[in-house]
Amino acid sequence: MIPAMPPPSPSAAVPRPRRAAHRTRRAAPRRAVRVSRAALRFGRVASMAVVTALILVAGVWASWGTAQHVMLTKGREHGTVEVARCVDGVCSGRYTPASAGSRERSAVVIEDSVAVAPDRTYSVVVKPGSDQVVRSGPAGVLHAWAPLGGALLLASVVVAGGLRRTRAAQVLAGAGALLLTAAFLAL
């Protein structure tokens, strides 16, 4: 105590209800901060989940256009194509039927990709109502689902960074890498 100051009187003490009111006023802003942080966290998780879902749906959508012809082969024309030439992203060649009801075609078109090379013969499925063909068999299935493999890899980055779910991201990345590696080795 400082010598020049008079001793404290009991009536000068701060009453208890004021302290409680003081604590309540401080607790309200803290609660508001907790609620806003929870809302932001929920918004982040929800938006990253939507982005992940969109990436995966886009991968399936991009793959299904070709995969449906390769996987659902009942009633489709099967055969082989001997690729003669490749120009402007497409290859063409003579189609030889291998299934009943399939007719021979002098020229069919197949997409020019890593799965097709000139002067080679491939087993194919004809897209209904057209002269376009896609590769069949295990190599065709894996090649058709390759866009999904890329989508899985991309989604794993979003899951790891945005959702902070490292194990789920590792599973997605592993599945995508496995699919792309299998497609590469099969072709």
* CATH number of residue 110's parent domain: 2.40.50
Same domain, 102 and 131: yes
Same domain flag for 95 and 117:
yes
Q: What is the pLDDT of residue 28?
A: 67
Answer yes or no: do 130 and 181 share one domain: no
Do the domain assignments include residue 115? yes
Please list the pLDDT of the chain residue by residue as tens digits (187 residues).
566 666 666 655 555 555 555 555 566 678 888 888 899 999 999 999 999 999 999 999 999 988 999 998 888 899 999 999 988 889 999 999 998 888 889 899 998 877 788 889 999 999 988 889 999 889 889 999 999 999 999 999 999 999 999 999 999 999 999 999 999 998 7
Q: Residue 44 sits in which domain range?
A: 18-70+146-186
Same domain, 92 and 53: no
In sequence order, the 6+-apart residues with CB closer than 8 A to the CB of 49 are 163
Give yes or no: residues 90 and 54 share one domain.
Answer: no
Q: 62 and 39 in one domain?
A: yes
Tell me if 60 is assigned to some domain: yes
Adjacent-strand bridge partners of 134: 125
| HSE, side-chain direction, 13 A CA sphere, residue 144 | 21
pTM: 0.74
> Are residue 152 and residue 164 in the same domain, yes or no?
yes
Give how many domains the chain has, as a whole number: 2
What integer pLDDT is reported at residue 62 of this predicted model? 95
User: Is residue 112 assigned to a domain?
Assistant: yes
Please check whether residues 89 and 49 belong to one and the same domain.
no
Asked if 91 and 85 count as a contact pair (C-beta separation under 8 A), the reply is: yes
Residue 8 falls inside a structural domain: no
Answer yes or no: do 64 and 98 share one domain: no
Where do we find the tokens 């055969």?
A: 79
Assess if residue 80 is contained within a domain.
Answer: yes
Are residue 128 and residue 88 in the same domain, yes or no?
yes
Structure confidence at residue 30 (pLDDT) = 82
Whether residue 141 lies inside any domain: the answer is: no
Domain for residue 11, yes or no? Answer: no
Residues 131 and 78 in one domain: yes
90 and 131 in a single domain? The answer is: yes
Torsion of CA 6, 11, 12, 18, to 10 degrees: 170
Which residues are 85's β-sheet partners?
A: 92
